[in-house]
Chain A
Amino acid sequence: MKYEEQPITMITIDELLPRTTRFFEEGYRLVQIGCTRVDGNFEINYSFDKDYRFENLRVILQEGGTLPSISAVYFGAFIYENEIHDLYGVSVTGMNIDFKGTLYRTTIKYPFSTDTTKEGDS
C-alpha cells in the first residue's frame, strides 16, 4: 500500500509568515490548518500541497500566546483561524475576516481548550 511522504518542519512563530509567504510564492496550495493540544501547549499544523507533494509547518504556541494570521498571504486561511479561535480559544491577530467568536455557535465556550490527554482522562 502506498503511503504518502509527509515532512513536518518545526518552526518558530516568528518564522511563520516568511515561510508561508515562500510557500505561496512557490505555488503551494494551503490544504489545512489544524490545532492539537499537546502537553499543555497548542500544536498548530499548516499543510501545503504542490503537484501532490505534501509539506507541513508546525508551530508550538504556549497557553495564552498569540498566533499571527496568515490570511494576508492565503486569503482562505481565515476560516481555519476563526475555527481555532472558536474551538480552542487561541488568540489570532490580523485576520482579514474576524468573526470574533461567532463562526461556531457552540454551547460550551472553547470546547476543545481543555487538555484532556494531559489530565489522563482518556
Chain B
Amino acid sequence: MTRQIIIPFGPQHPVLPEPIHLDLVLEDEIVVDAIPSIGYVHRGLEKLVERREFTEYVYVAERICGICSFVHGLAYCQGVEGIMKIEVPERALYLRTIWSEYSRLHSHLLTLGLFADVLGFENLFMNAWRLREHILDDMEATTGGRVIQGSCKVGGVRRDISSEKLDQMVSGLNELEKEMKELTEVFLRDSSIKSRLCGVGILPKKEAFEYGAVGPTLRGSGWSIDARKLGYAAFSKLHFEPVVETQGDCYARCVVRAKEMFVSIDLIRQAVQKIPDGPVEVKVTGAPDGEYFTRVEQPRGELVHYLKGNGTKNLVRSRVRTPTFTNIPPLVAMLKGCELADVPVIVHSIDPCIGCAER
C-alpha cells in the first residue's frame, strides 16, 4: 500500500486571495482526499441583524463581500420587500439590474485575472484588471463607490442615473467589448492555458447536482440553471440564455465566465433601452413581520438570503447562503484524484470568496 501523507494547503498561500485551509491527503503526487476548514474570517454578520434597524442592515449586508457587495444589498432589500410586499418602482428595478450586471462584469474580470495569475500569465492578469478599472469607474461615477456602492435601499435605490450617463455607459461598454473579445480569445484559444485547464478538476454533471454546485461551477458541468431566470429585478423583461458548457473541467468553468461577460453587456444594453422614467424609490412605513427567502444570481452563483421579522424594527434572523459555501463540497469532489500541482488551479476554478462564505 502506498504511504499517505497530509499536506496543509492554506490558509495563507500565494494563490489564495482569502484564507481557506485544506488538508490534502496524498499518495505520491495524487490527492486522494481533501478536508476543508474555514472560520478564519468569520464575522458573525448574520447575528448583527438583531442589533441594527432593518433599514440600516443593508449597509452590513453589502459588506458581506467586497466583490459582489451590490448583489448582497439587493438580495437583502428584496427579502425585506418580499416580507412587506413593497412595490418597488420599475425604474429602480432596472437600475438594480444594471448595477447587478456591472458587478458581474467586474467580478468575472477580477477572477479571470486572478486565474491568469495562478497560471503564471502575468500579462493577461494585468490586462484583465486594466479592463476591470473601466467597470469600476462607471460604478463609482453612478453610485459613489467603487467596491461598496450603498446605492440599494429597501423600497428602491438611493441614486438615479441620467439618460446621458446611461448612453455614455453603453458607449463605453461597446468600446470595452472589443478589448474584452481580445482578452477572452486568449483564455479560450491559448494553448498553454488549455494545457493547464482542459481535463483538470472534472466535476461530472450528476455530481455537480448532488454535491450542490451553483453558478459557473454548475453551468460548466452542463446544467442550465441561473437564478436570473426567476425574473427578479428587471430580468423578467430582458432576454438572455444561461451560458452552459458540458466538459465540467476547469477550462469549462473559465469559458462560462468569459462568455457570461458578453451576456452581461447585452443585458445592460437591453436594460438601458427599456428603462422607464419615473421615481426610483417608495416610502417604506411599518416594520417587517414574516419571513422570505430571496434568491439572486451573484457572479459566483445562486445567493440566498433568508429573513425573518416579528413586526419590530429589528429582524430576528438573517441567514445568508453564499455560492462559495455551497461550492465547497463540489470542490472536495474535484480535488479527489488530481495532481498536487493542479490544486491551486482547481481551487481557483470555483472563484472562491471566503469572506462571503463565512459572513
Contact = CB atoms under 8 A, between A and B. Distances in A.
Interface of A: 1-4, 6, 29-32, 34-37, 45, 47, 52, 54, 56, 74-79, 83, 86, 97, 99, 102-106, 111-112, 116-117, 121-122
Given A1-B81, A103-B39, A122 B295 contact: no
B146 interface: no
B53 to A, nearest CB: 11
Contacts of B36: 103
B129 interface: no
Contact of A1 (B46, B51, B88, B302): B88
The listed residue with most A CB atoms (<10 A of its CB), out of B38, B47, B330, is B38
Contacts of B88: 1
B212 A30 contact: yes
Interface string B74-91: 000000011001111000
A35 B316 CA distance: 12
B229 A52 contact: yes
Contacts of B42: 104-106
Contact of A74 (B50, B86, B212, B319): B212
B272 to A, nearest CB: 20
Contacts of A116: 50
B55 to A, nearest CB: 15
Contacts of B104: none
7 contacts: A32-B306, A54-B293, A76-B213, A104-B42, A105-B38, A106-B42, A112-B46
Contacts of A1: 81, 86-88, 93
Contacts of A31: 295, 302, 304, 321
B204 interface: no
A79 B325 contact: yes
Given A106-B39, A111-B44, A29 B293 contact: no
A122 B312 CA distance: 9
B344 interface: no
A117 B49 CA distance: 11
Contact of A4 (B46, B207, B212, B230): B230
Nearest to B302: A31
A9 to B, nearest CB: 14
Given A1-B87, A75-B212, A76-B210, 9 more contacts: A1-B81, A4-B232, A75-B207, A76-B211, A83-B325, A99-B37, A103-B36, A103-B38, A106-B42
A74 B304 contact: no
Contacts of A75: 207, 210-212, 329
B295 A29 contact: no
B231 A2 contact: yes
Contacts of A97: 35, 332
Contact of B212 (A29, A34, A105): A29
B304 A104 contact: no
A122 to B, nearest CB: 5
B295 A4 contact: yes
A116 B312 CA distance: 14
Contacts of A122: 50-51, 312, 314, 316
Contacts of A78: 329
Interface in B129-180: none
Contact of B308 (A36, A54, A79): A36
A117 B312 CA distance: 11
B259 interface: no
Give 7 nearest A-B pairs by CB, closest first: A76-B212, A105-B39, A76-B329, A104-B39, A32-B321, A34-B319, A76-B211
Contact of B326 (A35, A76, A102, A104): A76
A113 B38 CA distance: 19
A49 to B, nearest CB: 8
Interface in B57-115: 81-82, 85-88, 93
A111 B213 CA distance: 27
A40 to B, nearest CB: 13
B262 interface: no
A59 B216 CA distance: 31
Nearest to B321: A32
Contact of B50 (A3, A30, A121): A121
Nearest to A24: B210
